Amino acid sequence: MSAIEERFPRPSVMGVVNVTPDSFSDGGVNFRAEDAVASARRMIEEGAAVVDVGGESTRPGSEGVSADEELRRVVPVLEQLGGLPVSIDTTKAEVARRALELGAALVNDVSALRGDPELAGVVASSGAYLCLMHMQGEPRTMQDAPAYDDVAADVASFLEERLGVAVGAGIPEERICLDPGFGFGKTVEQNFELLGRLGEIVSLGRPVLVGLSRKRSLGRILGDPDATTGPLSASLAAAVEAYERGAAIFRVHDVREHVEALTVAAALPR
Ligand code: HH2
């Protein structure tokens, strides 16, 4: 298996396929397997390098679902996506194991191997790629009072530590990417500070994945203090700013528009 930066060269777009009734921006849209499969196929046609299939919402305030429920949601979708590049958005070893058997290439773990002690072994023995994401707290309470000494430095040192844990568990470093976890236990100000200082995460030496698409901070910076999502226009601006600071993989809901924006950003001479 090649290094993650060869398999997903910068910029690569990851399309979001939430097989959930309650995701923050597209809950219910792809809850039926047929709809999720159609969305995933369309995203690949529109230029996504991979589609990220998830059966559990991690939006602020969410409670989580059982492994059985997650499997009921994602397995029928993965079965029909055989042959297409798929990532599984899960913190659970059992779900990851089944997804990898069904051909998933990447495990996107928002808990950075803190959720399930068996997940590292599943990833190590499969040869899959892995995304380690920063989150302060847990989805149910993470937006209550997020606090950092220095958000960019704290997130960088967390990701460095989790990278060490993953490598120590036998997952080769060249298969791992890192994600600062926009919106996961961060205020609007903290999210923007982190985006501005993304270079500090990039300097850890691993490809950086960003999930800024439709995040509520983008709606709030536009003036709505109660926004729970952000618009496409703001998502594109944030993605291009992240690209400028070295981000490699972009987890997005609107694939075509992000592919176009990032193609333009990447066409500039360096
Ligand atoms: N954001 C969400 C879910 N998974 N994974 C990574 N690596 N990075 C992210 O920023 C990220 C993620 C939340 O977005 P979404 O999947 O649209 O919503 P929900 O968690 O409500 O299903």
Strands (E), 19-115: 50-54, 86-89, 106-109
Is pLDDT at 268 greater than 80 in this prediction? yes
> Looking at the DSSP assignment, which residues form a beta bridge with residue 129?
106
Determine the atom of ligand 1 nearest the C-alpha atom of 139.
20
The 3-class secondary structure across 216-253, one letter per residue, is HHHHHHCCCCCCCCCCHHHHHHHHHHHHHCCCCEEEEC
Q: What pLDDT, on a 0 to 100 scale, did the predictor assign at position 73?
A: 98
Cα angle 249, 117, 137; round to 5: 65
The predicted-structure confidence for 41-80, as pLDDT tens digits, reads as follows 999 999 999 999 999 999 999 999 999 999 999 999 999 9
Find out whether the beta carbon of 18 lies less than 6 Å from any atom of ligand 1. yes
- Encoded tokens for 230: 């952000």
Decide: helix, strand or coil at residue 192: helix
Find out whether the beta carbon of 30 lies less than 6 Å from any atom of ligand 1. no
66-70: long-range pairs with CB below 8 Å, 24+: 67/92, 67/94, 67/95, 70/95
DSSP 208: B
Across the chain, what does the average pLDDT equal?
97
What spacing in Å lies between the alpha carbon of 101 and ligand 1's midpoint?
Answer: 23
Confidence class for position 234, pLDDT limits 50, 70, 90: very high
Could you tell me the CA-to-CA distances from 63 to 13, 88, 119, 186 in Å, in that order?
28, 19, 20, 18
Catalytic site residue 162? no
Q: Please report where in the chains the tokens 């996504």 appear, as a residue.
A: 48
Catalytic site residue 215? yes
Q: Average pLDDT, stretch 133-149?
A: 94
DSSP 70: H
Is pLDDT at 223 greater than 90 in this prediction? yes
Catalytic residue selected from 98, 175, 215, 216: 215
d(CA 231, CA 221): 11
d(CA 157, CA 119): 22
What spacing in Å lies between the alpha carbon of 13 and ligand 1's midpoint?
Answer: 14
d(CA 248, CA 179): 10
The predicted-structure confidence for 246-262, as pLDDT tens digits, reads as follows 999 999 999 999 999 99
d(CA 90, CA 110): 7
